[in-house]
Amino acid sequence: MSQVEKKAGLLRRTSSSKKPLKEKVVLMYDEIFAKEDPAKNNPRFWDELFLMKVNLEYLESKLESVNGEEVQRIQDNINSLFHHCVQALGEEHQIKVVNALQTLCALFRGVHQKNKSASGFDIINMLMGFDKAEQRMKDLMERLDSLLCGDSSESLKSLCLKLLLCLVTVTDNISQNTILEYVMINSIFEAILQILSDPSSRGQHGYDAVVLLALLVNYRKYESVNPYIVKLSIVDDEPTLDGMGVVLHQALTEYNRQYKDKEEENQGGFFSTLTSMVGSMFIADVDEKLSVQTNEAILLALYEAVHLNRNFITVLAQSHPEIDIAVTPSTPTPTTPTTPLGTTPPSLDVMNNPELPLDPNLQTSNLLITFLKYASIVMQDTKDEHRLNSARLCLIILTCIAEDQYADAFLHDDNINFRVSLHRMPMRHRKKAPGKNIPSRPLVCAVLDLMVEFIVTHMMKDFPMDLYLRCVQIIHKLLCYQKKCRIRLHYTWRELWSALINLLKFLLSNETTLLAKHNIFHLALLVVNLFNMFITYGDTFLPTSNSYDELYYEIVRMHQVFDNLYCMVLRVSTNTGQWKEAASKVTHALVNIRAIINHFNPKIESYAAVNHISQLSEEQVRSISLNVRKNVSLNTLSQDVLLKEFSTIS
């Protein structure tokens, strides 16, 4: 049977002189799209309709094909269909309920697809009649709430959530979906929480529930009072918050597992040999094959939980050595419309294959570790728009975490150490880091590693300025906390300093290209002020005095970058132009760094001349640093400049 015949509900081919037969449900749909009331000649029309298997494709295509005049002609019948769908949700006969839910999905999608340019009020009027809309939606939401909270079958609950997801995602911009005003008035928030708090329901429907909640929270969140935002922000029920954390943890773990599986598929064998033989020829192919579809929906849910609910921060730190195994529903789930984009749940295999620790005796995993691993994957390649958005959302979530005092305390707790194996972008000038023998460190080290990795690997022509700004600001917030609490973190700070200097070098090398699109002086100022933090307050958080010597050595060794930066900002600040003020701020911020360079360079040159050495070793330079560092005259910059914590979360 051809695709056209299938969509039209044709049963079989007949002779050319006869019309092909149609399914009875298709004939009934045709009656609805006629001018007459379909129940006029058949009082049992609606009862019979919901006993028929729904033909979603035909019903949606029929709704999309009607023109303006036909809409007016059949509006009463469409309103009646909607009304009887809602009524059927209260039936005891499960088949009727299932068919009513699927029919409602087709109605919402078909009407919106046909009337994309129409106002929300016109769509409401076509679906249910504007004068009766409030009562119709009240009845619908009450029945859905009853099905979700009651003893309904798991398949019915799944269909209810699919219908709600369908309703929420029928428009490209959720805030333009006027029907959701009725979802705000008739809240299903408690039903969602009930699903998340119960282990059995959570295993079956947790993913859909979390995504639905995240989407509802974003409805006109900046334009009016959204009750879902208010309610989510005050949730303090531990089982509910833990349940939400488990769902997020499972979804991110599944993504990490899929990526790891693809990575292992591409290692070893003939393909690996070819790649090593021809160098970079196959790098793009490898990246493409390792690409796993990102999941912005689950990231959005994590962001809203972290951003809105302070109690959820504690969930990030809770260990998950094992994941609850969900029971597969014995009743087959009825066919439902295509799941909205970005809401594909993880496979149930993740329940049986939880992320295992590297060391079963010492290591456990938690939501924060899993998120850091996820971020290290999606932040590798930001050329794709979806991955760029995912990377941006990951950095926003990390900003939320870095701004929370409890999260900072957990991140820096020296008594709670973890081995976090972050994924690193394959690059020609460095070997892949071994995954074994990863040191056990406070989690803040993994966050800093992730920031350093991003800085090093994304210096490209299509420069992601907003991501770099967020990245540097996250580092700044962590340093502010370390300075405030006098935490001496044993971290390889030299890698961070080297990455920041190379970033300044990149900005200088591409000044003309970047200035056409971005204010590079703002980023340069943030980077320079990070160095000023280390110079001015490093004695409160650097682990040893030797760290200071390493800092001064890096500044002196790379003095040409700072000299060139000073010349550039001085040139721009002394000329009239768009960037005059921004460049002058960088000029002032470079005072301490230039003082160190101007103080040390003559000493080093003098030592080299006296000892007839053309090039000094690092040990010799550091010995000079140790002798003269105390005599450097530094300008104590304002604490308001160095310690001001810019909030980047709206």
What confidence tier does 62 reach under pLDDT thresholds 50, 70, 90? confident
Is the pLDDT at 645 greater than 70? The verdict is: no
Report the alpha-carbon distance of residue 99 to residue 54 in Å, rounded: 6
Highest-pLDDT range among 20-29, 107-116, 439-448: 439-448
CATH number for the region 24-220 comes to 1.25.10
- What pLDDT was estimated at residue 647? 46
**Residue 618: exposure state from Cβ atoms within 10 A (0-12, 13-18, ≥19):** exposed
Q: What is the DSSP letter of 145?
A: H
Report the alpha-carbon distance of residue 450 to residue 166 in Å, rounded: 36
Report the alpha-carbon distance of residue 374 to residue 199 in Å, rounded: 24
Is the pLDDT at 480 greater than 90? The verdict is: yes
Tokens standing for residue 531: 């160095």
Is the pLDDT at 454 greater than 90? The verdict is: yes
- What pLDDT was estimated at residue 561? 94
- What pLDDT was estimated at residue 324? 37
- What pLDDT was estimated at residue 599? 79
CA angle 175, 118, 7 (to 5 degrees): 100
- The rounded percent of the chain whose pLDDT value lies above 90 is 47
- What pLDDT was estimated at residue 284? 43
- What pLDDT was estimated at residue 644? 58
CA angle 228, 234, 236 (to 5 degrees): 125
Highest-pLDDT range among 10-24, 31-45, 482-496, 610-624: 482-496
pLDDT tens, 594-608?
988 887 777 666 665
What confidence tier does 438 reach under pLDDT thresholds 50, 70, 90? confident
Which has more confidence, 114 or 91?
A: 91
Which has more confidence, 363 or 88?
A: 88
Q: Which whole number is the average pLDDT over 552-570? A: 91
Which has more confidence, 577 or 470?
A: 470
pLDDT tens, 159-187?
999 999 999 999 989 999 999 999 999 99
Contacts of 592 (CB under 8 A, 6+ apart): 531, 532, 535, 536, 634, 635, 637
Report the alpha-carbon distance of residue 82 to residue 75 in Å, rounded: 11
Residue 10: what are its φ and ψ, rounded to 5°?
-75, 135
pLDDT tens, 213-258?
999 999 999 888 999 999 999 999 999 999 999 999 999 999 999 8
Q: Other CB atoms closer than 10 Å to residue 483's CB: what's the count?
A: 20
- What pLDDT was estimated at residue 224? 87
CA angle 330, 161, 104 (to 5 degrees): 105
Whether the Cβ atoms of residue 291 and residue 409 lie closer than 8 Å to each other = no
What confidence tier does 195 reach under pLDDT thresholds 50, 70, 90? very high
Is the pLDDT at 456 greater than 50? The verdict is: yes
Q: Which whole number is the average pLDDT over 610-618? A: 61
Mean pLDDT estimate for the chain: 81
Residue 607: what are its φ and ψ, rounded to 5°?
-60, -40
Which has more confidence, 514 or 348?
A: 514
Which has more confidence, 292 or 198?
A: 198
CA angle 490, 495, 501 (to 5 degrees): 135
pLDDT tens, 271-312?
454 454 444 444 444 444 456 677 889 999 999 999 999 999
Q: Which whole number is the average pLDDT over 387-416? A: 93
What confidence tier does 634 reach under pLDDT thresholds 50, 70, 90? low
